[in-house]
C-alpha cells in the first residue's frame, strides 16, 4: 500500500541558536533521523523528524541546540488526545499495524510508588552494613524438599536430600533478555562484561549467542523461544542457565518479527538464518499447548544439558499468572520469570505493548502467594522484571516475593540510552538499538560496561543500606516479606492483592 503522506504538527521543536552555532556540522553527522542538514550558509532543522534522542544537542560543542515541546499545539481534547490523533493520522497514511519500541509510556500507575518500606526502631534494632555482614548473594534454582539436622556423637549432621543445580548471583539483579538484533553487538558485549564483573547473569534473548560471546558463557542465560533460533549444543551445555520464553511483558501472547533489513552478517551468524530474511518467532511454541507439553520441553532441555544447569520459564504477567506459575513449577521448571506490563521490547505492536498484561507488582505478589499456599514455593525461584527502574523498585519487588529482579531498560539507560522509544526504527543514534555499523561504533564498550557495573554496584550498596535499616542481614529474608511494606495508594483492592497492609496498620493488633 502506498503511503499517503499527511502533514501533521511536529512533536518537538528543534531550535538552533544562531549566535552560538559555528557551522561545524557535527549535528548533521550525529542525527540519525534526518533532522539537521547544512543548507547554504546555515544549519536547517526539520523538527517534524525529531524524536528527542538528544544526540545532536549533546554533541554540539557550542550548546547551540535546544529541543523543546512542539510549538504547534493540537486543540485540547481529553478523549481524542494528541497521541490518539497521531495514531489515526499515521494509520490513515500507511494502513499499517502500529509498531513501537521500548516499554509502554502510558500513565499506568506504578504501584512501586505507592509502597513504603518499614524501618527498624527500638524493638528490632537496625544493622550497620558497614560494620556487619549483610548478605546479597542469591541462588536461583530449585531448593531441596526438606532438610534434616541430627546429632551424632556431639556433631551436627545436616542432610538435605537431592541437590539441584542453582546459579549463584552476587546480587539479586539479573539482566533480561535483549537479543543481538534488538540491541547492537557492542551493547551486548558491554552488558556481558558488566555482568561478569559484578557476578550476575544476562539473558541472550531470542536469537542465539554470537560465537564471540561464548567467552562469557558462565554468566549467560540461554533463551529458548518459539523461533528456536541459534540453538546449538554449546548454547545448552556451556552456559549458566536455560530459559524457555513463553511471553514477554511488552508483548504478551505475541511472537517476534525481526525485519529482514536488520538481518545482516552478524545477526545472520547468531540466529543461524540467511541474510535479509525476516526472522519470525511464532506466537506460541509449536510444541507447547499445555502444561504437559511445557514439561516435555523442560525435560528435553534438562536431558540435553545433562541436568547441569537450572531450566526456567519466562511468562508475561497476565490475569492468570498465579495458576499458570503453579503449573510451571509442577512441570519441573527451576525458576519462573515474570515480565510485567511496563517491560521493554526492541519492537512490538503498539496495541499489545500498551494494552495487554498486568503490572509486575501484582503478578509477583500473586504468584509468590499462590506457590506458598500450595507448598511448592521451594520448587522454583521467582525473577521479576518489567520496569525495575532503580534500587527502590528492586527492594520492593523482592519484598513482594521475587528472589531476584530483572532489568532491561534501566541497564540501557545506564549505558547512554535516552529512552526516546524509537528502538523499532533501528536507527538508534547512541549505537544501542541498531545494527548499522556506523552507529554501533558510537557505543564505547569499555565505558558502557563500566557505567552499567557502577549502577549494579550502587544498587547493591543501596540494597544493603535498606536491609540494614530493616534489621535484616540477608537478602533471602527480605524475599516475600510483605510485613515490611505498607500501601499508601488510592485503591485498597491493590493492597489486598499484594497482601500488603495499609500504612498506619501495625505488624499485629
Phi-psi region of 88 (alpha: psi -120 to 50; beta: other; left: phi over 0): alpha
Query: Which positions touch other proteins (CB under 8 A)?
Result: 1, 8, 11, 83, 86-87, 89-91, 93-100, 227-229, 231-233, 236-237, 257, 259-260, 268, 272-274, 276-280, 282, 286-287, 296, 299-301, 303-306, 347, 349-350, 424-425
Nearest-approach distance from CB 104 to other proteins, in angstroms: 13
Closer CB to other proteins, residue 381 or residue 421?
A: 421
Closer CB to other proteins, residue 125 or residue 274?
A: 274
Cβ neighbors of 193 (< 8 A, separation 6 or more) are: 216, 445, 446, 449, 453
Closer CB to other proteins, residue 305 or residue 440?
A: 305
Closer CB to other proteins, residue 287 or residue 446?
A: 287
Nearest-approach distance from CB 259 to other proteins, in angstroms: 7
Crossing angle for the helix pair 321-330 and 360-373, to the nearest 10 degrees: 50
CB of 329 closer than 8 Å to CB of 380: yes
For residue 63, count other CB atoms closer than 10 A to its CB: 10
CB of 489 closer than 8 Å to CB of 495: yes
**Locus of grid cell 527451576:** 334
Report which secondary-structure segment, H or E, holds 336.
strand 335-339
Listed residue (285, 195, 271) closest to 239, CA to CA: 195
Q: Could you give the CA distance from residue 246 to residue 141 in angstroms, rounded to a whole number? A: 18
Nearest-approach distance from CB 231 to other proteins, in angstroms: 5
CB of 184 closer than 8 Å to CB of 178: no
Closer CB to other proteins, residue 92 or residue 157?
A: 92
Closer CB to other proteins, residue 98 or residue 392?
A: 98
- List 464's β-bridge partners, or say none: none
CB of 368 closer than 8 Å to CB of 480: yes
Closer CB to other proteins, residue 99 or residue 116?
A: 99
Closer CB to other proteins, residue 48 or residue 462?
A: 48
Q: Could you give the CA distance from residue 359 to residue 418 in angstroms, rounded to a whole number? A: 23
Nearest-approach distance from CB 488 to other proteins, in angstroms: 33
Nearest-approach distance from CB 47 to other proteins, in angstroms: 12
Distances (CA, A) of 295 to 232, 254, 331, 464: 21, 21, 4, 37
Amino acid at each position: 500500500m502506498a503511503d499517503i503522506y499527511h502533514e501533521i504538527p511536529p512533536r518537538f521543536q528543534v531550535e538552533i541558536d544562531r549566535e552560538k552555532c559555528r557551522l561545524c556540522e557535527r549535528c548533521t553527522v550525529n542525527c540519525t533521523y534526518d533532522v539537521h542538514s547544512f543548507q547554504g550558509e546555515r544549519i536547517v532543522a526539520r523538527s517534524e523528524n525529531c524524536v528527542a534522542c538528544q544526540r545532536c544537542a549533546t554533541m554540539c560543542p557550542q550548546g547551540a541546540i535546544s529541543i523543546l515541546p512542539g510549538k504547534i499545539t493540537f486543540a485540547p481534547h481529553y478523549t481524542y488526545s494528541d497521541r490518539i490523533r497521531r495514531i489515526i493520522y499515521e494509520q490513515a497514511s500507511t494502513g499499517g499495524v502500529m509498531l513501537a519500541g521500548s516499554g509502554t509510556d502510558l500513565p499506568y500507575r506504578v504501584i512501586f510508588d505507592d509502597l513504603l518500606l518499614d524501618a527498624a526502631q527500638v524493638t528490632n534494632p537496625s544493622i550497620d552494613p558497614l560494620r556487619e555482614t549483610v548478605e546479597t548473594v542469591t541462588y536461583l534454582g530449585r531448593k531441596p524438599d526438606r532438610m534434616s539436622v541430627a546429632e551424632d556423637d556431639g556433631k551436627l549432621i545436616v542432610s538435605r536430600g537431592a541437590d539441584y543445580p542453582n546459579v549463584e548471583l552476587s546480587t539479586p539483579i539479573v539482566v533480561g533478555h535483549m537479543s543481538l538484533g534488538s540491541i547492537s553487538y557492542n551493547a551486548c558485549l558491554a552488558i556481558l562484561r558488566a555482568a561478569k564483573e559484578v557476578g550476575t547473569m544476562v539473558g541472550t534473548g531470542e536469537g542465539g549467542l554470537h560465537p564471540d560471546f561464548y567467552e562469557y558463557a558462565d554468566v549467560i542465560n540461554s533463551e529458548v523461544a518459539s523461533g528456536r533460533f541459534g540453538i546449538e549444543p554449546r548454547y545448552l551445555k556451556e552456559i549458566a542457565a536455560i530459559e524457555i520464553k513463553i511471553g514477554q511483558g511488552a508483548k504478551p501472547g505475541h511472537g517476534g518479527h525481526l525485519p529482514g533489513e536488520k538481518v545482516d552478517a552478524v545477526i545472520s551468524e547468531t540466529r543461524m538464518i540467511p541474510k535479509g530474511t525476516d526472522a519470525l518467532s511464532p506466537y506460541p511454541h509449536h510444541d507447547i499447548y499445555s502444561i504437559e507439553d511445557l514439561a516435555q520441553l523442560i525435560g528435553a532441555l534438562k536431558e540435553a544439558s545433562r541436568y547441569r544447569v537450572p531450566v526456567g520459564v519466562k511468562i508475561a504477567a497476565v490475569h492468570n499468572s498465579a495458576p499458570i506459575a503453579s503449573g510451571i513449577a509442577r512441570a519441573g521448571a527451576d525458576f519462573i520469570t515474570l515480565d510485567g506490563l511496563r517491560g521493554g521490547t526492541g519492537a512490538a505492536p503498539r496495541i499489545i505493548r500498551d494494552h495487554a498484561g498486568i503490572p509486575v507488582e501484582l503478578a509477583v505478589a500473586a504468584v509468590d502467594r499462590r506457590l506458598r499456599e500450595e507448598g511448592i514455593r521451594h520448587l522454583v525461584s521467582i525473577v521479576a522484571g518489567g520496569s525495575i527502574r532503580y534500587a527502590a523498585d528492586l527492594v520492593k519487588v523482592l519484598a513482594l516475593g521475587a528472589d531476584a529482579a530483572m532489568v532491561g531498560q534501566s541497564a540501557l539507560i545506564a549505558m547512554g540510552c535516552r529512552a526516546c522509544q524509537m528502538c523499532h526504527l533501528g536507527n538508534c543514534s547512541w549505537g544501542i538499538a541498531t545494527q548499522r555499523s556506523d552507529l554501533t561504533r558510537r557505543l564505547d564498550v569499555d565505558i558502557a560496561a563500566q557505567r552499567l557495573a557502577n549502577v549494579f554496584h550502587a544498587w547493591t550498596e543501596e540494597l544493603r543500606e535498606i536491609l540494614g535499616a530493616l534489621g535484616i542481614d540477608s537478602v533471602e529474608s527480605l524475599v516475600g516479606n510483605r510485613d515490611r511494606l505498607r500501601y499508601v495508594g488510592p485503591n485498597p483492592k491493590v493492597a489486598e492483592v499484594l497482601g500488603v497492609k495499609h500504612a498506619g496498620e501495625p505488624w499485629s493488633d
